[in-house]
Every structure is written in structure tokens, then in C-alpha cells.
Amino acid sequence: MEMEYCPPVAPLSVLYDDAELLVVDKPSGLLSVPGKGKHLSDCLISRVQMVWPHALLVHRLDRDTSGVMVFGLTSHAQRFLSKQFELRAAKKVYIARVWGRLTPKAGRVDLPLIVDWPNRPKQHVDIDKGKPAVTDWRVIRDSETESRVRLMPKTGRSHQLRVHMLALGHPILGDPFYAEGLARNFERLMLHSEELKIKHPDSGKMMRFRKPSPF
């Protein structure tokens, strides 16, 4: 499922930096890391490394997802931060606009996911072979046509939030892979990584990085 790649032209939006870590606001439409082929070489880490050549990848956001993303600036910081994601100690909060009125007002999706091989990079629910995936959600406000929700993933599977919302019957608006009809007809994927809580590699202190949703 190949899609044209037109990365946004925008300066780096730095939320925080020190000797150990860098936190930026990733724009929607920009890959986190290079894809296969020269036409997919422009990505967030390459832009970051133009300013911080020693920056190292810790985690990723989908191309069409915007928001808070952290990089390690030393090998120690990369290992320390990556371990928190691996152990599910990093606390993540996303904001999404989804199709229709989501009821009840809060809940949990616990559905294992696996890659949909014939339709890569799409994922789908597979109870028998999928990897565990858990998402908590809470409605912030709603109308007859859409709901604004806070999503708190407990795992970090590819496309997790997108597939979990689809499984509830409420795809994320503007999703080029999983939304259809009017739900797809938006200028971007309405999914934003609004907040990340993670321990600092040096002090061990829990730090909170936040970028309010642009939509």
C-alpha cells in the first residue's frame, strides 16, 4: 500500500534539550526514520542530526502522527530511555478525533495485533497470533458526528491506537489506512502525541514533556 511522500517543510520545534536528551514536536507527515529508497530519506532523525549529529533514536511515531518525541544525546541516555519504553514505564498520552459518538465515556481496548502482510504496513487484530496490545481511552467531548478522546497506550505496537479505535467502530479521522468515506476526508490524521512522562537518564527524576494538540 504505497502512498506518495510529501514531507512538510518546517523548522525543528524543540521542546527541551540538555546534555543527555532532546525533545521535539514531530510534524504530521514526516517519517521518524528513513524509509526504503532515496525518496523516503527525509525524516525527523536526519533533520535532528543536522543540528545534533550524535542524536540517537529512542522510539518512533507514525509518519502521520504529530507530537512529542524524545531522542538520546548519549549512548547511556539512549539505553536508559529505550529501556523505559521496553518496560512500559514511559507514560504516553495522545489526543485523537474519532468518527461518531464514542460510548461509554471511558474504557480499555485489549486486542492483540499483527501485521497484515498482504497490505503492509497495515496491522489488524489477531486473537491467536497477535502480540498483546492495550489502550485506555477517555472521551473529552463529543457530538453526533465525532468524539475527541484521550488515549493512553499501555503497549507500543505499530498502528496500535489506529487499529484499536477502528475495532471499536470509531476510526481516527483522516486516517489514510483505516478510515473510509467522510471519516477519511480530512487534511491530516487527527492523532497527536500530547504528553510524555519519562525518567531523566542522569537524575532519575520523572520529567513531563507536553505539546498541546494543534487540532
pLDDT per position as a tens digit, 46-95: 999 999 999 999 999 999 999 999 999 999 999 999 999 999 999 999 99
Q: Which CATH number does the domain housing residue 117 bear?
A: 3.30.2350.10
The answer to the question of residue 159 being in a domain is yes
User: CA 131 → CA 72, 99, 126, distances in Å?
Assistant: 27, 26, 8
Instruction: Assess whether pLDDT exceeds 70 at residue 1.
Output: no
- What pLDDT shows up at residue 2? 56
Range of the domain at 133: 94-191
pLDDT (mean) for 8-13: 95
User: CA 167 → CA 56, 137, 183, distances in Å?
Assistant: 34, 13, 15
pLDDT tens by residue, 150-180 = 999 999 999 999 999 999 999 999 999 999 9
- What pLDDT shows up at residue 4? 86
The answer to the question of residue 162 being in a domain is yes
Answer for the pair 187, 176: CB distance below 8 angstroms, yes or no.
no
Instruction: Assess whether pLDDT exceeds 90 at residue 3.
Output: no
Answer for the pair 71, 22: CB distance below 8 angstroms, yes or no.
yes
The answer to the question of residue 105 being in a domain is yes
At 67, list the grid cell: 507530537
The answer to the question of residue 148 being in a domain is yes
The answer to the question of residue 117 being in a domain is yes
Task: Please indicate whether residue 18 is annotated as part of the active site.
Answer: no
**How many domains does the chain fold into?**
1
pTM, two decimal places: 0.96
Distance CA 213, CA 104 (A): 23
- Regarding beta strands 191-199 and 66-72, do their DSSP bridges make them parallel or antiparallel, or are they unpaired? parallel
Answer for the pair 73, 56: CB distance below 8 angstroms, yes or no.
yes
The answer to the question of residue 98 being in a domain is yes
The answer to the question of residue 116 being in a domain is yes
Give the H or E element holding residue 113.
Answer: strand 113-115
pLDDT tens by residue, 181-198 = 999 999 999 999 999 999
- What pLDDT shows up at residue 201? 97
Could you tell me the pLDDT band of residue 116, with boundaries at 50, 70 and 90? very high
Catalytic annotation, pick one of 62, 64, 136, 175: 62
At 168, list the grid cell: 471499536
